Amino acid sequence: MRSSKTNANPSIFKRTGGILLHPISLPGHWGIGELGDQALRWIDFLKQSSCGLWQILPLGPTGYGDSPYQCFSSFAGNPNLISIELLYQENLLDQTDLKDAPNFSPDRVDFGRLIPWKNHLLNRAYQNFRQRHLSELQEKFETFCAQHTDWLDDFALFMTLKAAHKGRVWMEWDEPYRVRSPKALQAFLATHNEGVDAFRFQQFLFFRQWSEIRTKANEAGIRIVGDVPIFVAQDSCDVWCNPQLFKLNPQGYPRVVAGVPPDYFSPTGQRWGNPLYNWKAHRHTRFDWWKKRIRHALTQVDIIRIDHFRGFCACWEIPAHLPTAEKGRWVRSPGKSLLRLLTAELGGELPFIAEDLGVITPDVIELREAFQLPGMKVLQFAFDGDDPRNPFLPHNYVPLCVAYTGTHDNDTTFCWYASLDERVQEIARNYLPLIDQDPAWQLIRSAWASVAVFAIAPLQDFLRLGSEARLNFPGRVGQYWSWRATEDGLNGHLAEQIAKLNYQYNRHPYY
């Protein structure tokens, strides 16, 4: 463990600016952002803007509610992001396969229409792959399967079983499959091998395309900031394969669930519903599952934001039968032991950003500082009271932090400011006199001018968009995660504005 007096490794933390945009929000013709030409154009836009960071959200396959924080696996990729155009170019799809494409909205993801259509196309691509004997692609597919067998085989089996059980959560499957009876799983594989192989093939396509995007980003001097949620979804391959690592009852349901007590976002707290870890079991394995998870994440991104970092100190345990999060208790977590092992595993430098928002106690700050991890500063939280000691005011920042205008959970800055009462607006005006004229740009300039090593803003703020562009509202299900940028918004004029900002405040990309 490093002393809190040491400086962060400059190869990881260097004064830089960046943009938050999840790949689902990229422009494109096929109903959702994809990992093809539009992603490459986005990288060109970032390079023209002199941005050195692209921050994304978790890349996993989403389940109920379409949230990237509730995925079927911590290791797998989201097949909805696979580029249709690249599949066509590689002779995996024909023009006839695309002729019945729905008339998708250019600025909104309609998951209800998208997912069945895309599943059909991906299954068609797999059948073409098998029938057309594409020998070079077959060799690459076999290599991928061999390299990722430690998670890929279980995930493909999990998804095939889920399809056979008509999408039901794994706790409701027939008992032999729920408890992973070797005899039952072997018999299932014997009759469903092609279905399992099709899910493997989807992952091959995803990781092949994402690897190309990451390579192009790095070559352009851009590092990708990924996101590892501290918790996993209950209905996931992670929990199905490792029930001993979680606090579950004999039927596989959680005895207690994760969340946070009442806070800025919700007066009744947030009941996320994720299962909580059996930390004793993790200690017994020397955190082997966590080490695999982080190593795998770092094959996809350059820097990891640890979502809900305070969970490495203590987790808010809510009895699973309660509908809200007011009643619960803080239970200690072995974060120091885990981070110490990860430091050794990764060679002494943790490329992590600690999401340390919400109810933060001194032990969380101590843990973050002990491992020299930058925390998060959100400017939308800076004006809640007229207190010059507010830690979200830029004059209180330290260099080792990341300044944001807002996150994926906040409203856009334009609508955040419009919704403030007059008293709070006056506090903001006293600090940023020009905020009335252009609230989003004034918060962006303040973040970029600060001493924070990284300054990041959602693309929606650079575009000065309103609440129609809000990506998420914590605690609400079914109406978020759908905003998409349009091609005309990512123009040369905006790129020039951002490039001037990065130059003015000495935030250069990683050339």
- Per-10-residue mean pLDDT for the chain, 511 residues long? 40 92 97 97 98 98 93 98 97 93 94 96 97 93 98 98 97 97 98 97 98 97 97 98 98 96 81 96 98 98 97 96 95 97 92 92 96 97 93 97 97 97 96 97 98 98 97 83 95 97 89 50
What Rg, from alpha-carbon coordinates, does the chain have? 23
Residue of 227, 409, 411, 461 marked catalytic: 409
Domain count, the chain: 1
Q: Is 100 a catalytic residue?
A: no
* Local structure of 457: helix, strand or coil: strand
Tell me whether residue 306 is in a domain: yes
> d(Cα 196, Cα 192) in Å, to the nearest integer?
6
Q: With the C-alpha atoms ordered 198, 199, 202, 203, is the resulting torsion angle positive or negative?
A: negative
In a domain, 86, yes or no: no
Q: What is the predicted pLDDT for the residue at 456?
A: 98
Confirm if 26 and 33 have CB atoms less than 8 A apart: yes
Residue 361 lies in a domain: yes
Out of 355, 356, 411, 461, the active site residue is 355
Residue 264 belongs to some domain of the structure: yes
**pLDDT for residue 265:** 64
User: Which residues form the domain of 339?
Assistant: 242-371
Task: From residue 86, give the alpha-carbon distance in Å to each of 100, 125, 168.
Answer: 18, 11, 32
- In the residue annotation, 94 being an active-site residue is answered as no
Choose the catalytic residue: 154, 238, 307, 317: 307
Report if residue 227 sits inside a domain.
Answer: no
Distance separating alpha carbons of residues 424 and 293, to the nearest angstrom = 42
Does the active-site annotation cover 307? yes
**Domain membership flag for residue 396:** no
Structural domain includes residue 453:
no
